Amino acid sequence: MVRLLVVVVYLSLTYGKVEADKWTLFQRKESLDGKMCKYTNFAFTNDSVHDKTVCLFECTNHVNCGSIFHVQHTGNCTGCTESYDIVSPTGLAAGSVYYGPASCTIGWLSIGSSRYCILDGIMNFENGVKNCESMKTHVVTVEDMDENNDLKSMINSMAFSGDVSAFYIGFTDVAVDGIWTEYGTTDEIGFKDWGPGEPNLGTSENCAALYVPYNLQWIDIGCNNELKIICEKET
C-alpha cells in the first residue's frame, strides 16, 4: 500500500513537472501562411492573446496540446493535438508561426558507442537540456580527443542555414567559476579543448560550446545565448 502511494505521488509529481515545462520545450519550427491543425486535431483556440509566450504557456495548460500556432498579426493562438497539415478554410492562421516539440530532422548519427543529434533550431542552454531530455538523451559530454574529433567531423560534414557559429556541449562552471563539470553533477571534466584565450570571461560565461571561428575548439559563453545544441545517447 505504501509502495503504491509512493508510485502515485511520484507519477503525479513527474506528470505535473512535464506539463509545467512543456512550453519551454517548443521550438519555433516554421513561418507559415494559411496553415492550421487538422480538423480532428484542435486542442483549443484562444482569440484574445497577443504574445507568443502566452500562446506557448496556454498550450501547457491544455493536456491535449501537442503543438501550437501563433497568428502574428492578430495575436491569436490555436493549439493542435498533433501537427498541422491543411490550409485553414477560414484563413485564421494566415501569417502564423508554428511551434512544436524538439526534433532531429537531420537524424541520429552513430559514432562509436554513442548516437548524436544536432537539434533543429537554436535555443539557450537550459532549454537545450530540457529538449535533449525530452528525447530521452542528454547534452553531449565530450570525454576524449577521439569523441571531440568525431563531433568536429560530424559538424563539418553538415550544412546549416543561417548564422550558426557555436554548438553547446554539456559542461558548465556555474557552481564554482573555473571548475568545469558535467552539467548537473560535480564531476570535474578531464579532457578539454579550449580555443585560444578561452575560457576568458569568468562568471559571465558558464557554458561551453564548440566554436566555428576557432575550428570548433571550445569557448566559454553565456548560457542564455541561443545556439545549436548536440544531444547524445549511449547505445
**Closer to Ca ion by Cβ: residue 148 or 206:** 206
Say whether residue 172 binds Ca ion (CB under 5 A).
no
d(CA 29, CA 19): 20
Which listed range, 63-71, 123-131, 144-152, 172-180, lies at the site for Ca ion (CB under 5 A)?
172-180
Which listed range, 11-19, 63-71, 87-95, 190-198, lies at the site for Ca ion (CB under 5 A)?
190-198
3 state SS of 195? coil
d(CA 186, CA 198): 21
Q: How far is the CB of 178 from Ca ion (least distance, A)?
A: 7
Say whether residue 76 binds Ca ion (CB under 5 A).
no
Q: Which one of residues 182, 193, 220, 232 is an interface residue with Ca ion (CB under 5 A)? A: 220
Residues 84-103 that bind Ca ion (CB under 5 A): none
Say whether residue 224 binds Ca ion (CB under 5 A).
no
Read off φ and ψ for residue 50, nearest 5 degrees: -140, 25
Q: How far is the CB of 201 from Ca ion (least distance, A)?
A: 5
Q: Which one of residues 177, 192, 195, 225 is an interface residue with Ca ion (CB under 5 A)? A: 177
d(CA 60, CA 52): 13
Which listed range, 3-11, 40-48, 130-138, 216-224, lies at the site for Ca ion (CB under 5 A)?
216-224
Say whether residue 173 binds Ca ion (CB under 5 A).
yes
Q: How far is the CB of 80 from Ca ion (least distance, A)?
A: 40
CA distances (Å), 90 to each of 38, 44, 47, 97, in order? 13, 16, 14, 17
Q: Which one of residues 41, 80, 206, 229 is an interface residue with Ca ion (CB under 5 A)? A: 206
Q: How far is the CB of 207 from Ca ion (least distance, A)?
A: 8
**Is the Cα dihedral 46, 48, 51, 57 positive or negative?**
negative
39-72 burial code (b ≥16 CB/10 A, e <16): eebebbebeebeebebbbbbbbebeebbbbbbbe
**Closer to Ca ion by Cβ: residue 89 or 197:** 197
Read off φ and ψ for residue 124, nearest 5 degrees: -75, 170
Say whether residue 219 binds Ca ion (CB under 5 A).
yes
d(CA 153, CA 165): 15
Residues in Cβ contact with 219 at an 8 Å cutoff, skipping those fewer than 6 apart = 166, 194, 195, 198, 199, 205, 208, 209, 211
Residues engaged in binding Ca ion (CB under 5 A): 173, 177, 198, 200-201, 205-206, 219-220
